[in-house]
Structure 1
Amino acid sequence: MKILITGATGMIGSELASLLLQNGHSIHYLSTSKKDLKNEPNYQGFHWNPQQGVIDENCMLGVDVIVHLAGASISKRWTQTYKQEIIESRIVSANLLYKLLKCNPHQVKHFVSASAIGIYPDSLTQNYTEDNKSVDASFLGNVVVKWEESVDKFKLLNIKVCKIRTGLVLSDKGGALKEMKKPIQMGLGSPFGSGKQWQSWIHISDLVHLYYFAILKEWQGVYNAVAPNPVTNAELTKAIATKLNKPFFMPNIPQFLLKIMLGEMHMLLFASQKVSSQKAIDNGFEFRYHHLEQALNDLLA
Structure 2
Amino acid sequence: MKKMIIAAGTGFLGNVLIDHFKNDYKIVVLTRGKAEIKNDIRYVNWDAKTMTGWEAELEGADVLINLAGKSVDCRYNEKNKSEIMASRVDSTVILDKAVSQCANPPKHWLNSSTATIYRNSVDKQMDEETGEIGHDFSMNVAKVWEKAFFRNETPGTLKTALRTSIVLGRNGGAFVPLKKLAQFGLGGRQGSGRQFVSWIHEKDFARAVEFIIERRMEGPINVVSPTPVRNAAFMKTLRKAVGMPVGIPIGTSLLKLGAMLIGTETELVLKSRNVIPKRLTDAGFTFGYGDLGTALGNLLNKY
With the length of structure 2 as denominator, give the TM-score of the two structures: 0.92
1:144 corresponds to: 142
1:258 corresponds to: 255
1:63 corresponds to: 61
- Structure (1 or 2) with the greater helix fraction: 1
Conserved in 2, the CA contact under 8 Å of 1:102 and 1:157?
Answer: no
Alpha-carbon deviation of 1:212? 1.1
Task: Show the 5 A alignment for 1:62-101.
Answer: 62-101=60-99
Conserved in 2, the CA contact under 8 Å of 1:49 and 1:55?
Answer: no
> 2 CA distance for matches of 1:151 and 1:286?
28
SS state at 1:27 partner: strand
1:174 corresponds to: 172
Partner AA of 1:74 in structure 2: V
> 1 CA distance for matches of 2:168 and 2:157?
31
SS state at 1:89 partner: helix
Q: Which runs of 4+ in 1 moved over 4 A?
A: none
Task: Show the 5 A alignment for 1:121-200.
Answer: 121-132=119-130, 134-200=132-198
Q: Residue by residue, what CA displacement relative to the aligned partner does 1:120-177 show, whole Å, maximum 9, x if unpaired?
A: 1001101111013532322111111111112113534542111111111111111111
1:28 corresponds to: 28
From 101, 114, 117, the counterpart of 2:115: 117
Conserved in 2, the CA contact under 8 Å of 1:67 and 1:112?
Answer: yes
Conserved in 1, the CA contact under 8 Å of 2:182 and 2:247?
Answer: no
> 2 CA distance for matches of 1:192 and 1:140?
20
Identity in percent = 30
When residues 65 and 52 of structure 1 are mapped into structure 2, their CA distance, relative to the original with a 3 A threshold, is closer
Partner AA of 2:14 in structure 1: G
The range that moved more, 70-79 or 191-200, is 70-79
Partner AA of 1:262 in structure 2: A
1:19 corresponds to: 20
The range that moved more, 252-261 or 223-232, is 252-261
> 2 CA distance for matches of 1:103 and 1:204?
33
What runs of 5+ residues in structure 1 fail to find an aligned partner? none
Alpha-carbon deviation of 1:243? 1.3
Partner AA of 1:260 in structure 2: L
Q: Report how many residues are paired.
A: 297
SS state at 1:105 partner: coil
2:10 corresponds to: 9
When residues 299 and 159 of structure 1 are mapped into structure 2, their CA distance, relative to the original with a 3 A threshold, is same
SS state at 1:288 partner: coil
2:282 corresponds to: 282
When residues 105 and 249 of structure 1 are mapped into structure 2, their CA distance, relative to the original with a 3 A threshold, is closer
1:240 aligns with 2:238: yes
Q: Residue by residue, what CA displacement relative to the aligned partner does 1:96-121 show, whole Å, maximum 9, x if unpaired?
A: 11112223423322111111110110
1:270 corresponds to: 270
1:38 aligns with 2:58: no
Partner AA of 2:37 in structure 1: K
Conserved in 2, the CA contact under 8 Å of 1:111 and 1:154?
Answer: no
Conserved in 2, the CA contact under 8 Å of 1:29 and 1:59?
Answer: no
With the length of structure 1 as denominator, give the TM-score of the two structures: 0.92
SS state at 1:287 partner: coil
> 2 CA distance for matches of 1:175 and 1:40?
23
Conserved in 2, the CA contact under 8 Å of 1:78 and 1:265?
Answer: yes
